[in-house]
Structure 1
Amino acid sequence: MSRYYFYVGSWQSPRNPDAIRGITIGTYENGKLIPIKRVHEDVNVSMLTYDGKRKVLYTSNELPLTDKGPGGRANAYKADLETGDLEEISNISSFGKMPSFVAYDPLGDFLVLTNHSMGNVILKTVQDKNGEFHLVNEYDETAAVLYELNEDGQIVRACDIVKHTGHGGRPGQTNPHMHSVRFTPDGKYVFICDKGNDGYYVYRLDRGNKKLVLADRLDSVPGAAPRYSALHPVLPIIYFNNESARLLTAARYGEDGKLEKLGDWSTTWEDVDDESEAGQSDLMISEDGRFLYNIIRADNMISVFETDPESGEPKLIQMTEAAGTGQERDLCFSPDGKYLFMSAVADGNVYRYTIGEDGKLSDKELALEDIAPGAMIFIKAD
């Protein structure tokens, strides 16, 4: 029987300023999470990703500044699969405030990190071509960073940075806020959700020149605030959820990276005021692509979709209660696919759901307490 470690990154947010930080290490045995220790307590983890070949765990360290300077950090840790321990091998600037997500290149050459940034405003005076003076607001930059990795998995340097512009129509959309990034399985394209300017972006990874090249952009429903994405493992289809709208968006992507929107689907059976904040957070797809799981924080629910095997279109099949805190953040499948774990930041706990043959969730149980979970991952030890 294979052995697995779990790693839970603790996340301290403005809503939970007293929450712990760091990474909790433990073992996974017969559906149970058994904690061992907490390490690297200076790291505020917003996302985790893993290079199984080189045994390196990467984190986005979500901070506006650190003792190393302004902005957050990208960290890399070598995993000791005998003990589960993590040795830091890289600690580099995120080149922006509040890094929100990090994704590992399937071919092992690069890492991509998104910075959410903040809504800080600087008031400046500018002079136009006619000599007239005006006041303008300037906001923090929002950038995605392409990092080069060496043969040991260390983060060598930032080799490209792309920046977004524009804004949406809601109060929190005064400037761009990149929230997540995903690679296609072949490593050819990168998808980025920007909840500040209502954009679903596709970038082509130019490996030779070590650049991210814009391939396409698809607009969301106005004010929807795209947050996370999930790629179908078989079909060339990507799903997006939206932080400010109870909608699941699906699109087909072509060999050229162009997006063809398939539609928007409600993530709830209830009639909800379109102006109310949805607070959707994580979105995950099962390994076989049959089922999608989506958190709606404002409703304290997880919505479950079944996908059509040919078209990929999602059908809502279940809504089940989440943790009840209003700040559920992360979903993670168990290595055996039997369970779905949910991280609830506000109450500090991780919960476990049993996944049925029909994809539906049942038997919610408390799995870990008091660790302010922001992201979770399993790593095979043998």
Structure 2
Amino acid sequence: MYKHYLLLMALIVGTGVVHAQKPQKSSSNSELTMLVGTYTEGSTSKGVYVYRFNQETGKAAMVSSVQAGNPSFVVATDNNKFAYSVSEYNDGRQSAIAYRLDKSRGKLSLINSQTTVDEKIGAKKGKDAQSDGADPCFIMTNGKQVVTANYTGGDISVFPIAKDGSLCRQSQHFCFSGNEQGTVSHLHCVRLTPDGKYLVADDLGNDCIYRFEVNNRADYLNKQPFLSNELIIYKGEKGRGPRHIVFSKNGKYAYLINELGDVVTTFSYTAGRLKEIQALVAYDGGGHGSADIHISPNGKFLYTSHRLKDDGVSIFKINQTTGMLAKVGYQRTGIHPRNFNITPNGKYLLVACRDSNEIEVFSINKKNGLLRDTSQRIKVSKPVCIQFLK
């Protein structure tokens, strides 16, 4: 009987499948809480998944999940009390969702949701509920406000956060139109600048980056506007398609991955202004599906993911004096690496391979930034976002 038990356990481990466990308290500094957003349409995914990931061994265990529709991007507040996700639809169901987060037990519970549709402003623009606020694909929070970038809607939705973590109704809604004949706005990323004074928004359709001034006093009680004074601070080459942007640890540089041009653009950043200093081909295979971008915790390396052809991750070394990039390698991955993330200790890079239905775990060589496939796989249907709690 005991031998049969050991054989059964060996077979289970050998499959690489991670099974759900009862919510349990985190007990190690090496053990991270990891949130995974997914697509539920056309998959067996339930919604958002919570894992324990050991950043020393590279092994994961699923703890729990919470049901949600197409939560393709998820983020947690800095105090780890609440989490928020998009619900990426374009049929009137598009919304932002609030969750209560119990980090110690690895559990999310639904609080409420709010539509990203703004009927009043949508009517003014001649939009309907199927296009206004449609396909929210990115979400950020400063703990007081939540902002979504709505891809098909070509707009931004702003939600104040109540004391209990719930989302209030939209307080602001910014619509963007084509800047040139034949262009259509597609918002893909919203991110605060390192100084906390501004929010930048990448418009893939108009090949530009908008900047808003941020009112950090704004909250659900005083009802002051969070964003104001919209300004285009970067106009890129037509057809490149700005997608995601990240800032260097010292706040002096910004790096933009362009989806359609497969180019990474380097900027110097000063007082809310971006100045382009380099444009480097990130992938020359012609896939035109560049997706995500991250900087290693030590600030020495930058990574970009690429889909649709020869799927993989490009690896760059960052010049610590000039901020400019030099490409050092390319790591093949599973199918459709939409998003990825790096563990806080810089030891592992995890890739959400949407169409392989798994998260791949790569170890990082801290000397040269190159990746090595550990053969560790986290099985989950249509994974598209990975976030580690702070």
TM-score (ref. length: structure 1): 0.82
1:228 paired residue number: 244
1:28 paired residue number: 53
Give 1:12 shift.
4.2
1:6 paired residue number: 34
Return the letter of the residue paired with 1:156. Answer: C
Tell me whether 1:306 sits opposite 2:334 in the alignment: no
Q: Is the helix fraction higher in 1 or 2?
A: 2
Give 1:39 shift.
2.1
Is the 8 Å Cα contact of residues 195 and 251 (structure 2) preserved in structure 1?
Answer: no
2:101 paired residue number: 79
2:81 paired residue number: 55
Alignment of 1:330-341 (within 5 A): 330-341=339-350
Give 1:245 shift.
0.9
Alignment of 1:148-167 (within 5 A): 148-166=160-178
Distance 1:168 1:48 in 2: 32
Which of 355, 368, 380 is 2:378 aligned to?
Answer: 368
2:114 paired residue number: 92
Is the 8 Å Cα contact of residues 278 and 299 (structure 1) preserved in structure 2?
Answer: no
Q: Is the strand fraction higher in 1 or 2?
A: 1
- Count of matched residue pairs: 336
Distance 2:249 2:293 in 1: 14
2:235 paired residue number: 219
| 1:230-267 deviation line (CA, Å, top 9, x unaligned) | 11111321111111112101112221x22211121111
User: Structure 1 stretches of 5 or more lacking a match?
Assistant: 118-140
1:190 paired residue number: 199
Distance 1:290 1:93 in 2: 40
Return the letter of the residue paired with 2:63. Answer: I
User: Percentage identity across aligned positions?
Assistant: 24
- Root mean square deviation of aligned Cα: 2.0
| 1:149-177 deviation line (CA, Å, top 9, x unaligned) | 233432223221111111679xxx75111
Distance 1:153 1:142 in 2: 27
Tell me: CA distance 1:90–1:212, structure 2 relative to 1, closer, same or farther (3 Å).
farther
Is the 8 Å Cα contact of residues 63 and 107 (structure 2) preserved in structure 1?
Answer: no
1:379 paired residue number: 389
| 1:122-162 deviation line (CA, Å, top 9, x unaligned) | xxxxxxxxxxxxxxxxxxx4211122123343222322111
1:126 paired residue number: none
Is the 8 Å Cα contact of residues 203 and 241 (structure 2) preserved in structure 1?
Answer: yes
- The residue matched to 1:346 in structure 2 has which SS? helix
Distance 2:139 2:180 in 1: 24
TM-score (ref. length: structure 2): 0.81
Distance 2:270 2:112 in 1: 35
Is the 8 Å Cα contact of residues 312 and 337 (structure 2) preserved in structure 1?
Answer: no
Distance 1:248 1:318 in 2: 14
Alignment of 1:108-127 (within 5 A): 108-117=143-152
Is the 8 Å Cα contact of residues 48 and 377 (structure 1) preserved in structure 2?
Answer: yes
Give 1:364 shift.
4.3
2:140 paired residue number: 103
Is the 8 Å Cα contact of residues 205 and 213 (structure 1) preserved in structure 2?
Answer: no
Is the 8 Å Cα contact of residues 40 and 69 (structure 2) preserved in structure 1?
Answer: no
- The residue matched to 1:28 in structure 2 has which SS? strand
